[in-house]
Amino acid sequence: MKRIFTLIAATALTSAAVAQTVKVYTGHVVTSYAAEALGDANFNNGTQLTLQGKTFSTSDIDSIVVDRSQAAAARTMQVAYANGNTWVTVSGDVASLLNIAVKGDHVSVVAAPETAEEITYALGGTATNGSFYMDGHYKSTLRFDNLNLTNPDSAAVCIDNGKRINVILADGSTNSLTDGAGDMQKACFFINGHAEIKGAGVLNLTGNTKHAYASDEYTWIKNGSTTINVLSAVSDGLHVDQYFQMDGGTLNVSGTKGDCVDVSCTKDAADLQNGQIIINGGAITMDVAAIDVKGLKGEKDVTINGGTIKATVSGDGSKGMSVGGNLLVAQAEGATTLINMTVSGTTYKYTDPITGLPDSSKCRGIKVTGNYTLSGGTINMTVTGKKAKGISIDGEYKYLGGTTNVVPE
């Protein structure tokens, strides 16, 4: 212990002349300190070592290394997955706030309630039996940089803290997440919180138990270079509570047994844009075949101001777009709105699970419970099947502009 103290003290004295990093190894977690910012090293009867507020049990320390490598960036935790040899590196300034556990290639972290600055969790590498779990009380950033993660038992990535989660797909990266079949997870990639997705990378999702992606609050695709591919899902491709907004990027959904994009209301009716879908730009391509399946499904209003939507949907009772409130198709200044749909199927007959009475769902290109307003853009639609229709509305239809080959019946 005396030798460790002397090493750290000597490092602090020389750090002004030569940039050095102090690394504390405990299992597969490395805590990284820039020597010049290290401050005092406090010992407690030789059983504990405290650095920048983080207290280590000396019995847990495998080694302390001093070198001239770059210290971890401030407020970061990095996970380098490598089948059976996954390592976590955490910056010393936030180490005291994070409870980190590494078991094989499964990594979990819980941030303390007193966390008051955003922490970035950067994930990369490959694991065929791994996962990432994060909980906390403050907004965070989640960065994927060539991450290939499969969890045979549960979700691949689960974020549980209920705050704004900034999801960044590193520029030029390709990332793939796959979950296991038959467990209780809601999705392969689940976020309890407000998800804002950006970055010029690619994210591939496979949902083997339920949804490929799900969030308990809004999901907002903000960047024009983001690409999300849902390769398959036992239920919905994207299942979002509160609202789904897309300002740019590319979303491709195929191979789902449920809806491609399903947006539901939260329990709080006062939540902003509750149950809505808002498309301002980007490109959505949907290709799905299943009974009573929908391409876009919004429990409340759907507003399309720009972007390209292509849907190939087939199955009895299927719908290219299902709107529980009002539908507005417009074309914002400088934008292009194009909707191409091919929908096929006949009537789906079933027993209502609530009333126990026979019921049915007819095939529709677009089904609107409220009013439908077309004020811009182009809609091309082909709908085939016995008793199938192009557009069906329960409210009023208002035409203000745009081009369509199908009008409501």
pLDDT band at 81, cuts 50/70/90? very high
Q: Does residue 10 surpass a pLDDT of 50?
A: no
**Stronger pLDDT, 244 or 354, i.e. the higher one:** 244
pLDDT value at position 6?
Answer: 46
The answer to whether 204 and 178 are in contact (CB under 8 A) is no
pLDDT value at position 8?
Answer: 53
Q: Does residue 1 surpass a pLDDT of 70?
A: no
71: which DSSP letter? P
Q: What angle do CA 320, 325, 331 make, to 5 degrees?
A: 65
Chain-centroid distance of CA 104 in Å reads 24
Q: Mean pLDDT, to the nearest integer, of 83-104?
A: 97
pLDDT value at position 168?
Answer: 98
Q: Does residue 362 surpass a pLDDT of 70?
A: yes
Sequence spans of domains, the chain? 1-71, 74-404
Q: Does residue 7 surpass a pLDDT of 90?
A: no
Q: Which residues pair with 384 in a beta bridge?
A: 344
Q: Does residue 3 surpass a pLDDT of 70?
A: no
Q: Mean pLDDT, to the nearest integer, of 124-149?
A: 98
Give the Cα separation of 158 and 216 in Å (integer): 12
Q: Mean pLDDT, to the nearest integer, of 73-85?
A: 97
Q: Mean pLDDT, to the nearest integer, of 12-18?
A: 48
Give the Cα separation of 224 and 334 in Å (integer): 15
Q: What is the mean pLDDT of the chain?
A: 94
- H or E element: which one contains 195? strand 194-198
Q: Does residue 154 surpass a pLDDT of 60?
A: yes
User: What pLDDT digit, counting tens, does each position of 388-409 carry?
Assistant: 999 999 999 999 999 999 998 7
Instruction: Please state, in angstroms and as integers, the Cα–Cα distance from residue 189 to each residue in 154, 175, 285, 393, following that order.
Output: 10, 12, 20, 34
DSSP 292-349: T-EEEEESS-EEE-SEEEEEEEESTT-EEEEESS-EEE---TT--EEEEEEEE---EE
User: What pLDDT digit, counting tens, does each position of 28-50 carry?
Assistant: 999 999 988 887 778 878 899 99
Instruction: Please state, in angstroms and as integers, the Cα–Cα distance from residue 371 to each residue in 41, 261, 380, following that order.
Output: 68, 21, 20
The answer to whether 118 and 75 are in contact (CB under 8 A) is yes
User: What pLDDT digit, counting tens, does each position of 106-115 carry?
Assistant: 999 999 999 9
Helices (H), 59-123: none
Neighbours of 299 (CB within 10 A): 20
pLDDT value at position 264?
Answer: 98
pLDDT value at position 54?
Answer: 95
Among 7-11, 153-157, 332-336, the least confident range: 7-11
pLDDT band at 15, cuts 50/70/90? very low
Q: Does residue 321 surpass a pLDDT of 70?
A: yes
Q: Does residue 13 surpass a pLDDT of 50?
A: no
Would the CA dihedral through 155, 158, 160, 165 be positive or negative? negative
